[in-house]
Structure 1
């Protein structure tokens, strides 16, 4: 009986695995730049999970008094980010309904910033203090991070993590390891939180560079600041790369590419037009 039961279990799990593999092969989407993406997690699900993860991330920091302590710094970040959000909504109307938010986290040792799906953002004081970006350079950071969200990179990274788990499950089934074959997938909110700390692919980085520098230029920020920002980021690392660079791998020709993009984006920057600020709390 035990052998027969195990046979039925293994057969059903193998059937499930076949269905899952077919899902992996068909769950594709296209990014704003035309790149093919693995999308096991829908953008809507990623936004919902990120909303929960954002609240869970900020709550203990709020209790410790580490959120928006410096009113001047927080207002500066909101103003710059708000101008970029306005342009993001123009180019990507679906983001109009996002619950946009940006918080400054008091952590002088962390040189980092991120944007979850749905426009949930944070900037660490370490980035402001150690890099000391100009407004134009800070706009490049926020444009880049917002572009990760607009291009559904959170959902993509969550999907990659899920695909990895499915692959491990497949190995467990193949070798008959029933103890590990039934492991549950990581919770969505946790997966969304982990996604912002996972390294981006180079294709995702190039995509965010292209989209971000355009958003910042349209918002009235000098695109040539993108190259000087990355120079400052590398110097801020000292003996090792800051966290921002560990999750944002830098191709060797990145600064050269950014300089070329800057020349293309100058017309947007030089436009004599109003650059309204999206209101952020």
Structure 2
């Protein structure tokens, strides 16, 4: 009985993931990724952006009340906004809606090693990621490009849509079990467990896509995409004891570095063009941590 239920659950979830993978590849210069997931259409992007704007405003107001919101004249805020100003024009090609977004960039005082870009272009960095990792401008651009890519590719709406689909799949499995005389609670537990692992995989795929799109954006804006390799080496040193990749929403650092290196031949010409220099004459990228070898 358990094996039958598991087969039904796996079949339902594979059908869901297959629908997402059936989207065609977008042809373009630079990196190539598939079309945005159909699941994002299950929820309204405009509504999600409105909710994100309200949540972002509340977060900034709370940070201000706690004296944690950096003022506009803070050197790090000026730095972040200058980098964003260079990245955003090269972001718009990825999502027509982004041309209407009211972009914002703010810095919150916190030891968290974190940054995000909410739907609608609401960007926040925490001082922890800047100070703990001692990010160079190129590395900040890689982080920011990655976070912007999440918003551009509407990963928030996609995840919400996939969650809705997964919940419907579990309900259908429970109904199927009941009709067949099986325990619907057992069916729901089995289906829910498989759905949870499946959603982790979906999240890791989104992270990988954001890495790749972020590299493209950063390179076009004149930031060295090889900084992504050094960034994740720094991140790995700062995140010892992280859960195994298959139980994490983020790919392992070594896998991210391998993926970044795989796409360097696509983005390095964009970087060379942005800098107005010959690709063959570009020196290796050297971060500010001397324990990290130059990236060629």
* Common fold: TM-score over 0.5: yes
What residue number does 1:124 align with?
126
CA distance, structure 2, for counterparts of residue 50 and residue 71 of structure 1: 25
What residue number does 1:188 align with?
none
RMSD over aligned Cα atoms = 3.3
**2:100 aligned to which of 92, 97, 116:** 97
Structure 1: segments with no counterpart, 5+ residues: 1-23, 176-197, 275-281
CA distance, structure 1, for counterparts of residue 48 and residue 211 of structure 2: 22
Deviation at 1:172, TM superposition (A): 7.7
What residue number does 2:74 align with?
71
Give the 3-state SS of the residue equivalent to 1:118 in structure 2.
coil
What residue number does 1:59 align with?
61
Query: Pairwise mapping of residues 260-275 of structure 1 onto structure 2 (< 5 A)?
Result: 260-272=262-274
| Residues 172/149 of structure 1: CA separation in 2 closer, same or farther (3 Å cut) | same
CA distance, structure 1, for counterparts of residue 168 and residue 262 of structure 2: 40
What residue number does 1:34 align with?
34
- 1:222 matched to 2:218: no
Give the 3-state SS of the residue equivalent to 1:128 in structure 2.
helix
What residue number does 1:206 align with?
208
CA distance, structure 1, for counterparts of residue 168 and residue 54 of structure 2: 24
**1:106 aligned to which of 106, 109, 115:** 109
Query: Pairwise mapping of residues 167-206 of structure 1 onto structure 2 (< 5 A)?
Result: 201-206=203-208
Tell me the TM-score normalised to structure 1 length: 0.69
Count of aligned pairs between the two proteins: 227
Tell me the TM-score normalised to structure 2 length: 0.66
| Residues 172/90 of structure 1: CA separation in 2 closer, same or farther (3 Å cut) | closer
| Residues 99/272 of structure 1: CA separation in 2 closer, same or farther (3 Å cut) | closer
Whether the aligned pair in 2 keeps the contact of 1:202 and 1:251 (CA below 8 Å) is no
Which is worse superposed, 69-78 or 142-151?
69-78
Deviation at 1:60, TM superposition (A): 1.5
Structure 2: segments with no counterpart, 5+ residues: 1-15, 27-32, 179-199, 277-296
Whether the aligned pair in 1 keeps the contact of 2:203 and 2:249 (CA below 8 Å) is no
Deviation at 1:59, TM superposition (A): 2.2
| Residues 252/238 of structure 1: CA separation in 2 closer, same or farther (3 Å cut) | closer
CA distance, structure 2, for counterparts of residue 128 and residue 212 of structure 1: 18
Deviation at 1:237, TM superposition (A): 1.8
Give the 3-state SS of the residue equivalent to 1:104 in structure 2.
strand
- Structure number with the bigger relative contact order (C-alpha 8 A, sep ≥ 6) is 1
Whether the aligned pair in 2 keeps the contact of 1:51 and 1:120 (CA below 8 Å) is yes
